[in-house]
Amino acid sequence: MSEGHPAPGGPECYRHPGRETWIRCQRCDRPICPDCMRDAAVGFQCPECVSQGAKQTRTGQAAYGGARSADPRLTSMVLIGINAVVWLIITATGGAASALVTRLSLMPTGKCVPDGDPEHYYPGVGSESVCSMVDSSHWVPGVADGAPWLLVTSMFTHVEVWHIAFNMLALWFLGPALEAAIGRTRFLVVYLGSGLVASVVVLLLSDPGSLTAGASGSIFGLLAAHLVVGRKVGADLSQLGMWIAINVVITVLWSDTISWQGHLGGFIGGALLTIGIVHAPRGPRRAAFQWGAVLLVALATLVAAVLRVGAL
């Protein structure tokens, strides 16, 4: 179609009015004609976005605001190291029989535990005062009994070697790529925020006497984050979708031993936080929109936790 004659019913290149095109810039979503298409990591970008991206690279700015990570692997390595140290300490102090398991894992309510036998508890004893009357036992508080830190410590607690191995392998594959896209601070917000939302969903939907541990909620949050970023840039999501589907099937088939509540909560938390980060409008107020979205998710999570603790 010759230049200067509008295309009937079709979008026109924003730089060359009259040229029909169905190609859009992956960053600004404006229609661009073949003369304006510039190869990008995924799809094509317009000349203006290529220029802006070059400026961000030179100034050390990440694609969605904030500072770019000099080494996107570093944060994931530190997180893996923290999880590994906690697992080694638990293993060295008895594994599943270690007293640290009940001190660090997520328990909605407290448990009356026999001295020297942390793997078992008295299910009929529901308060510290009653537990004090049971010989050779002690009370281990849950979230509702004044131990809110369990919502966080449980994210770094593993007992079985296969559990920590699977979670840390997933973190190594998912973490650096996400940090490279959104920067270190925002990556930590997504990882830790997903884990916290997962813990609160466990608090809401699990049996009050349950015990939950592991970084799976954060890992599902990273899966959701990659899904959101991938859709934003128009990436091929077939392999990611298959990976998510496999994890969902595993969660359903082994729901008696796997916390589907934590997986669901982590996925929801990761999706909401990442949507707020990558879909914030470009410009000087982008950071304000991003942190406002993070604050809304945090407040909703806090309110849900407080209401549930009150009910327990």
Predicted confidence at residue 59, as pLDDT, reads 54
> Which residue in 154, 199, 226, 263 is the catalytic one?
263
How far is Cα 71 from Cα 65, in angstroms, rounded to an integer?
17
The answer as to whether 259 is a domain residue is yes
pLDDT at 57: 55
Both tokens assigned to 306: 């407080």
Q: Is residue 171 part of a domain?
A: yes
Of 35, 59, 83, the residue that ends a domain is: 59
Is there a single domain that holds both residue 240 and residue 160?
Answer: yes
| Residues 173 and 299 occupy one common structural domain | yes
In a domain, 78, yes or no: yes
CATH number, domain of 173, equals: 1.20.1540.10
Asked if residue 289 and residue 206 are part of one domain, the reply reads yes
24 is a domain residue: yes
| Same domain (yes/no): 188, 297 | yes
Answer yes or no: do 53 and 152 share one domain: no
Residues 48, 80 share a domain: no
User: How confident is the model at residue 2, as a pLDDT?
Assistant: 39
Tokens matching residue 286: 């982008």
- Verify that 31 and 82 share a domain, yes or no: no
Residues 31 and 88 occupy one common structural domain: no
Q: Note the pLDDT of residue 291.
A: 95
Question: CB–CB of 264/202 below 8 Å?
Answer: no
Residue-number span of the structural domain to which 54 is assigned: 1-59
Query: Is the domain of 288 the same as that of 219?
Result: yes
Burial grade of 9 (CB within 10 A; 0-12, 13-18, 19 or more) = exposed
Residue 160 is assigned to a structural domain of this protein = yes
Q: Are residues 241 and 151 in the same domain?
A: yes
- Same domain for 54 and 155? no
pLDDT of residue 147: 93
Same domain, yes or no: 202 and 86: yes
The yes-or-no answer on residue 199 being catalytic is: no
- Give the pLDDT confidence score for residue 120 in this predicted structure: 77
pLDDT tens-place string over residues 250-281: 888 887 888 999 999 999 999 999 999 999 99
Residue 86 lies inside a defined structural domain of this protein:
yes
Q: Which of the following is catalytic: 105, 216, 218, 259?
A: 216
Q: What pLDDT score was predicted for residue 30? A: 84
User: Average pLDDT over the chain, rounded to whole?
Assistant: 87
Residues of the chain with pLDDT under 70: 1-10, 40-43, 53-60
Per the structure, the count of domains in the chain is 2
Answer whether residue 66 is part of any domain: no
In the residue annotation, 16 being an active-site residue is answered as no
How far apart CA 108 and CA 209 sit, in angstroms, is: 7
Is 130 among the domain residues? no
Q: What distance in Å separates the CA atoms of residue 126 and residue 140, rounded to the nearest whole number?
A: 11
The confidence score (pLDDT) of residue 54 equals 65
Helices 161-182, 184-205: inter-axial angle, 10-degree rounding: 130
